[in-house]
Structure 1
Amino acid sequence: MGKIKSVKFKLNVFEYEKPFHITNSISTKTSNIEVRIELENGILGFGEASPSFRVNGEKVEALLALEPVINEMIKGYDTKNYRQIFDITDKLFAFPSIKAAVQYAVLDALSEEIDLPVYKILGGAKGKIETDKTVSIGTLEERVNDATKIFEEGFRIIKIKVGENLREDIETIERIYEKTSGAKYIVDANMGYTPKEAITFVNELYKKGIDINVFEQPVKMHDIEGLKFVRFHSPFPVGADESAKTKYDVMRLIKEEAVDYVNIKLMKSGISDALAIVEIVKAANLHLMIGCMGESSLGINQSVHFALGTGAFDFHDLDSALIIKEENFRGKYKTEIPYHIAI
């Protein structure tokens, strides 16, 4: 029987290869929670939570304290009825990263039991995806050098963090564009600009003949009017990340005509809301990308399977496992060439 016997949490701390700097935030490490679900037949399923206080208001200590609560919530439920478990764990709306980890661990255990990969349980739409790699904020020369190195490694989609210095950001993008001809670019301000600054940024790049594939989260997360203003005055597609956590957030963004792209992160929404967001955005004929927080390979594995299963995404920002120090990569995927992740 595929009934849940126990749920156990384990704290894992990973250091970044170099400090990871985004607007108003510098991280040297990530503290993640490994979730292990054991079934009555001995089968194990694994998931990972990578909490973010900045985005979700989560604290690792509070999440670890949920272990007995979640055991009580889902113990005895059959993984074959995973939607029942999703409905129960949807009550964890204040703890989305742990909700994601538990929901994925349920699917992972089911996958083992029925001998079918999770991405096929979720639809099996694709067999391969391509990820970007991120340039964090630093000096102008550091950012140009990092982008050049990423391009030389074989990545053809580069994500560039901006938002702390408008003039330097413009020059940085211009220099990176010169050094990485043929790449595609996602530019992420992480809420760092005012709406007017965001318009200045994109218009100056456009005048220089630079093309941006997605301009992500230019303004504060709750400034939906500002986001809409940027979208209607930007020559480039505008995406929401911090503004788009739940399916209800996404419904509002679409109603307000505030976005071209929605960035799904399982750590913001869990599997259940992410599945709903895919259908909502597709119904609105808009676009999707998938991102990550500070997941290790175990956590990135979740998003890879989700992306492959749904086949819903134009861009995949699943590089966190590539920028942390991790001795043993975990997860049922392999890297065939440096910039492809595939089953």
Structure 2
Amino acid sequence: MKIKSVKFEKTYYRYFEPFTISLGTHEDQENIEVRLELEDGTVGLGEASTLFVISGETVEIMMQAEKTVQEMIVGEDVESYGKLFSRLQQLRATPAIKAAVEFAIIDAFCKRIGIRPYEFFGGAKDHIETDLTVGIMDLEKTLKKVKKIYEDGFRIIKIKVGKNFKEDVERVVESKKIAPEAVFIVDANQGFTPKEAIEFANTLHSERVEVVVYEQPVNRYNIEGLKLVRFNCPYPVAADESIFTKYDALRLIKEEAVDFINIKLMKSGVSDALAIVHLAQSAGVQLMIGCMGESSLGINQSIHFAAGTGAFAYHDLDAHLSLDEKTFRGDFRQEGPHIYL
């Protein structure tokens, strides 16, 4: 069945509260919905979401890719998705658009043959557990938020750090007291030097904080620094901003710089994400999956990918919970940290 049309539409959301990481503060989110229609009227949907400080994409840049995408895939058979994915590799400057278009193709294809996307990806699981993220804020607000998250049943809590060493240590240590049975993902978003990152991890460890993933502690381009942290701190070290493509993943694996890779479809697209999964599994590197600022429509993509592949030790798929959405549009059901397909 041939692709009849593909269209982009801007969407806009407000965060319930300002969301701060070491790279800046965000109060709203502008995404792009991709609508792909086949000749028989079947519609596939995808969403592109990005943070300029991480990927360099803006909504204006992504919207300009609409005509290029149309020229690449309109009139082609949706069943030939492998060929289409190869063409879409040219969208190197707009990985979020690549992800949204690839998923829209998969969504339409799955509807045509009567399966759901997680089954397309392998059907390994029909249930995953996500963490919930606490942005950078003062101690009082941090503890209030951690307490609420813990009471809501979340046992994996992600805390953003990287702006103030002393305050960040206190926020994480005191959070552990509020949530004694929780484990933590600590994400510096490139906020530390290698020496600071090692000291920070050793300080938390001395306070017996269980950190299951220590995410992107140093600058994305400092691969030697990332490796230094990995071999000199007690926690598993993950790369996030350092890895966009399968080629980035291959380099970090060969350099022995990471214990974990954080895959985000918005950084890699679906096709490169699949390649990274296979690379990591072959090398014995663990995986987590994250998100940018997706609504329920966009987070749906990563949920189906994660459940279908069954490849991830940890899931950081909570962006939609921070956005003021008028209509829930995901093909999943969520009960606290538990997400069911």
Cα displacement (A) at 1:211: 1.5
Letter in 2 for 1:26: T
For the pair 1:231 / 2:227, whether they are aligned, the reply is: no
User: Counterpart of 2:326?
Assistant: 327
Instruction: Point out 4+ residue stretches in structure 1 off by more than 6 angstroms.
Output: none
Query: Partners in 2 of 1:305 and 1:285 — Cα distance?
Result: 23
8 Å contact 2:23–2:53 — kept in the other structure? no
Aligned to 1:268: 267
Aligned position for 2:150:
151
Root-mean-square deviation (CA, aligned residues, Å) is 0.7
Contact in 1 for aligned 2:4/2:37 (Cα 8 Å): yes
Quick one: distance in 2 between partners of 1:314 and 1:69?
36
Alignment of 1:308-327 (within 5 A): 308-327=307-326
The separation in 1 between residues aligned to 2:270 and 2:23, in whole angstroms, is 29
Q: Match of 2:5?
A: 6
Q: Aligned partners of 2:208, 2:61: CA distance in 1, in Å?
A: 48
CA distance in structure 2 between the partners assigned to 1:155 and 1:317 by the alignment: 12
Identity of aligned residues (%): 53
- Quote the offset at 1:338 in angstroms: 1.1
Alignment of 1:223-262 (within 5 A): 223-262=222-261
- Deviation, structure 1 residue 51: 2.0
> Equivalents in 2 of 1:244, 1:147: separation in Å?
29
2:179 counterpart letter in structure 1: T
CA–CA distance in 2 between the matches of 1:58 and 1:154? Answer: 35
Deviations 1:109-157 (A, max 9, x none): 0111111001101100111000000000011111111111111111111
- The partner residue of 2:338 within 312, 337, 340 is 340
1:33 is paired with a residue whose SS is strand
Structure 2, unaligned runs of 5 or more: none
Letter of the 1:285 partner, please give it: G
Q: C-alpha distance in 2, partners of 1:223/1:4?
A: 43
Deviation at 1:331, TM superposition (A): 2.1
Task: State the 1:327 CA deviation.
Answer: 1.2
CA distance in 1, matches of 2:274, 2:179: 35
Find the counterpart in structure 1 of residue 77 from structure 2.
78
Name the CA distance, whole Å, in 1 between partners of 2:272 and 2:131.
24
Q: Tell me the SS of whatever aligns to 2:217.
A: coil
Q: TM-score scaled to structure 1, two decimals?
A: 0.98
Distance 1:206 1:52 in 2: 31
| Aligned partner letter, 1:298 | L
In structure 1, the partner of 2:60 is 61
What secondary structure does 2:262 align onto? strand
| Alignment partners' CA distance in 2, 1:135 and 1:52 | 17
> Matched residues in 2 for 1:59 and 1:210: separation?
37
Instruction: Tell me, in whole angstroms, the C-alpha distance in 2 between the residues paired with 1:155 and 1:124.
Output: 25
- Distance, in Å, in 2 between the alignment partners of 1:260 and 1:321 is 27
Q: Give the 5 Å matches for 1:180-199.
A: 180-199=179-198
